[in-house]
Chain A
Amino acid sequence: MVITPPSVASIVRDAWHSRRLGYLLGERLVAKSYVRTVLGKAWLVLRPLMETVGMALIFGGVLGAPSSGDIPYFLFLLVGMMGWRLFERPLHWSIRSFDRYARIGRSLRAPLLLFPVAGAGPGLVECAVYPVIVLGAAGVFAVTDGTFYLQLGPGLLAAAGGLVLAYLFGQGLGLVLSVLNARARDVRMVSTYLLNAWLFATPIVYPISSLPSPWRSLAQINPLTSIVELVKWGILGEGQFTAAGVAWSIAATVGTLAAGLWFFARHADRFTSIAHGQEDDEDDVDYL
């Protein structure tokens, strides 16, 4: 039997051809994530809300982290987290996708690219809740402060572009890490800690203007810095980014995505078939 690694074009074409299957796989994972919970899909709203409230209390309240301009810290943090989460949550779920779809991957010849892409579904759903929470919070501040802090103008297009970049950057990394995680689960353990560190290296809980000048230049190396600043600028009108920084973020995203697709096409079958050959049950996997 001769196994030939497929081309990038063919795995993308196969995945697009089976897009309905991908939608169902994502939907199934969202449903399965909340099996045996009492509150069910209410956790979709509760998790980001509790997380942001907790972080706002710690960083804004206890540690006194500054906001940007006159924006309330909770709103500042919420918008930054929206950009970050659109990178982090799909990546988090993608990394575990081959565990989650172990039985299907083992038994059927499904396009492998669907697994990390559809596997990011729950992450996308969680992120979809953020705009609702941002709007709600802005409404509350409009009543209490008498100011509506959101910029409802063409800047929103820049924010949307930033969000798309954040998602694609995470998905590009997810393509590589999901395959590596199928080989060794150490990847997801390590990724959890690295992502936590990455969160604090990105100007989300603090404004980039609060960084000393040399550190500010260093922060621009992080592709997510300009992406998050772009989102903040588009939604709140407060954000510092340069054209070079945005260009670097776009280049990093495109490069990561291309490299991820190449790596995935080359190694996904080999690595995942090893994982599928092991006694591995997706029910053993933690979901949240």
Chain B
Amino acid sequence: MTSTTSDSRPANELGIPWDTLADGDVHGLKRGVDFDCDTRFVVLAARNAASRRGQVVRCVRDDLLRHGAYVWLQFFDYEVERGQPCPRCGSAELIGARTGFPFCAHCGASLVVVALDEAPPWLVDPEDPAAPEPEPDAAVVRYAGPQRRQDLWDPATASRRRLECYEEVHINAALGVGAARLFGCARFGPKKWVLFMMHFLPHPHDDHLARHTITPIPASAFFPAFDLARVSDWPLVQIGPPRPEDGEIVAVSQYLSYCSATGAYLVPVADSALPEVSSRATTAG
């Protein structure tokens, strides 16, 4: 199995006419009428369509179990942070009738404003030399708790739920690579390691739409029982599409391939082409 880029996807992925839906209005899709699969795949297909069209999409999932499921979505031309000008024409004159959803007064581009909240002091990485000195605050001290709890509940770690969020990924093949779950260890930043369980979510109709999610736990929580030095023995994982220098690609399972030249495993990342800001925005549901 190999990765495919979003651009190769059909315009009506999952049988949904994405180009029609990308008219800037809010649209509601209903399971049983507009789609028949898990709402997560509709969101993924919407993001693929947005990527193909050079737009961004916001989706809200509504799964009411046996009472039905809905996906509400809207395509925008650009996503900007508060205070940024229009990415298309550079104009800072943004107008509109709804807070957070302006239009560019010059080129008419539809924008969605992302409010990036400032990280609270207890989230600042203490090892970062550029980090500001946290101000003493009784409420913060009470909330942060002991160091171990802070590690376990650190949202900077907990939010890294996709393979692309890590710089170095190893899997432990002892658990069996044929399963839809993989156990591994990954690094982000200079020396932040997490142990993770990766779940693959198969798509009923399209293998390329299989996606994964990661449940990370800070590796430091398991020191000294867990020996970080042994991680280098675990096979590396190459993220993204195969490269020419990878040599022969052998499918190990539905979700995993092996590159003979590099000795690394390949995990398909269906929507790796999306920019980080867009990924964050589409998690509203």
**Residue ranges of A at the interface with B (Cβ–Cβ < 8 Å):** 1-6, 10, 17-18, 20-21, 24-25, 27-28, 31-32, 34-35, 40, 103-104, 106-112, 269-270, 273
> Which of B95-103, B154-162, B173-181, B201-209 forms part of the interface with chain A?
B95-103
CB-defined contacts of A103 to chain B, threshold 8 Å? 60, 284-285
Cross-chain pairs A/B with CB under 8 angstroms, 19 sampled: A1-B95, A1-B113, A2-B96, A21-B25, A25-B28, A28-B62, A28-B68, A31-B64, A32-B62, A103-B285, A104-B26, A106-B284, A107-B58, A107-B72, A108-B73, A108-B74, A109-B110, A269-B98, A273-B100
- Verify A109–B26 contact, CB threshold 8 A: yes
Q: A18-B26, A28-B70 are known contacts. Are A273 and B64 too (CB-CB below 8 A)?
A: no
Whole-angstrom distance between the Cβ of A59 and the nearest chain B Cβ: 35
Contact B97 A4 (CB under 8 A): yes
B69 CB to closest chain A CB (Å) equals 10
State how many angstroms separate the Cβ of A222 from the closest Cβ of chain B. 36
Q: A6 contacts which chain B residues (CB < 8 A)?
A: 97
Contact (Cβ within 8 A) A1 B67: no
A34 to B65 CA separation, bound complex (whole angstroms): 11
Question: Are A108 and B58 in contact, with the CB atoms below 8 A?
Answer: yes
Listed in ascending order, the chain B residues whose CB lies under 8 Å from chain A are 25-28, 30, 58-60, 62, 64-65, 67-68, 70, 72-74, 93-102, 110, 112-113, 284-285
Q: Which chain A residue shows the least CB distance to B113?
A: A1
Which of chain A's residues have a CB closer than 8 A to the CB of B28? 20-21, 24-25, 28
Which of B62, B97, B112, B284 lies at the interface centre, i.e. has the most chain A CB atoms within 10 A of its CB?
A: B97
Are the CB atoms of A31 and B26 closer together than 8 Å? no
Asked whether A107 and B60 contact (CB < 8 A) given A4-B95, A18-B25, the answer is: yes
- Residues of B close to A35: CB separation below 8 A: 64-65, 67
A108 touches B62 (CB 8 A): no
Q: With the chains together, A86 CA to B27 CA distance in Å? A: 29
Q: What's the minimum C-beta distance from A122 to chain B, rounded to whole angstroms?
A: 13
Q: Which of A1, A104, A269 has the most CB of B within 10 A?
A: A1
Nearest-CB residue, chain A, relative to B74: A108
Contact (Cβ within 8 A) B67 A269: no
Q: Is B95 in contact with A32, judged by CB distance below 8 angstroms?
A: no
A31 touching B60 by the CB < 8 A rule?
A: no
Q: Which of B68, B74, B99, B112 contacts A3 (CB 8 A)?
A: B99
Q: Shortest CB–CB separation between residue B164 and chain A, in angstroms?
A: 23
Query: Within the assembled complex, what's the spacing in Å between the Cα atoms of A31 and B74?
Result: 22
Q: How far is the CA of A24 from the CA of B72 in the complex (A)?
A: 10
- In the bound complex, how far is the Cα of B96 from the Cα of A104, in angstroms? 18
Q: In the complex, A3→B94 CA distance in Å? A: 9
Identify 6 new A-B residue pairs, CB closer than 8 A, beyond the known A31-B67, A111-B26. A1-B99, A28-B68, A40-B67, A103-B60, A104-B60, A108-B74
B27's contact among A10, A21, A32, by CB below 8 Å, is which?
Answer: A21
The interface residues of chain A lying within 8 Å CB-to-CB of B94 are: 1-2
Residues of chain A with a CB closer than 8 A to B113's CB: 1
Alpha-carbon distance between A20 and B112 when the two chains are bound, in angstroms: 23
- Inter-chain CA distance A110–B60, complex, in Å, is 12
A102 to chain B, nearest CB (A): 10
Q: Is the CB of A109 within 8 A of B98?
A: yes
* Given A18-B25, A103-B60, CB of A269 within 8 Å of CB of B99: yes
Nearest CB on B from A225, distance (A): 38
CB distance from A101 to the nearest CB of B (A): 9
| Minimal beta-carbon separation of B158 from chain A (angstroms) | 17
Cβ–Cβ contact B64 & A1, under 8 A: no
